[in-house]
Amino acid sequence: MKHQFSDALRAARQAKQLSQEDLGIPQSHASRLENGQKMPSWERVEALAEVLDVHPLTLFTLSYMFPETSLSELTDRVQKEIAAIRCVSTGIWSKEP
């Protein structure tokens, strides 16, 4: 997962035409994240997503799409899993996702 997240982070940063320095963290730390040497905390993922102007789940979704899973396959699976969880957890959510 570490290397897929690094690929996702790099792809999102490059798509936004940002440098590693633009991520709001030291360039050396950004480099370690993008090279798969470090995995960010949840708080760091949220901060990076804010700078990249994407939802944190976008970074995780991209991570699970590398190298060959399609977005539709991934979202279909997640929708089915959420529906199954909702069926056994009645009352937790009051409206559909």
Q: What pLDDT, in 10s, does the model give residues 36-60?
A: 999 999 999 999 999 999 999 999 9
C-alpha radius of gyration, the chain, whole number:
16
74 with 52, same domain: the answer is no
Using the Cα atoms of residue 46, residue 16, residue 36 and residue 8 in order, give the sign of their dihedral: positive
Distance separating alpha carbons of residues 4 and 35, to the nearest angstrom: 10
For 7-24, the pLDDT digits (tens) are 999 999 999 999 999 999
- Residue 54 phi, psi (nearest 5): -135, 160
25 with 10, same domain: the answer is yes
Name the pTM for this structure: 0.80
End-to-end Cα separation, the chain, in angstroms: 26
Please give the residue range of the domain that contains residue 40: 2-66
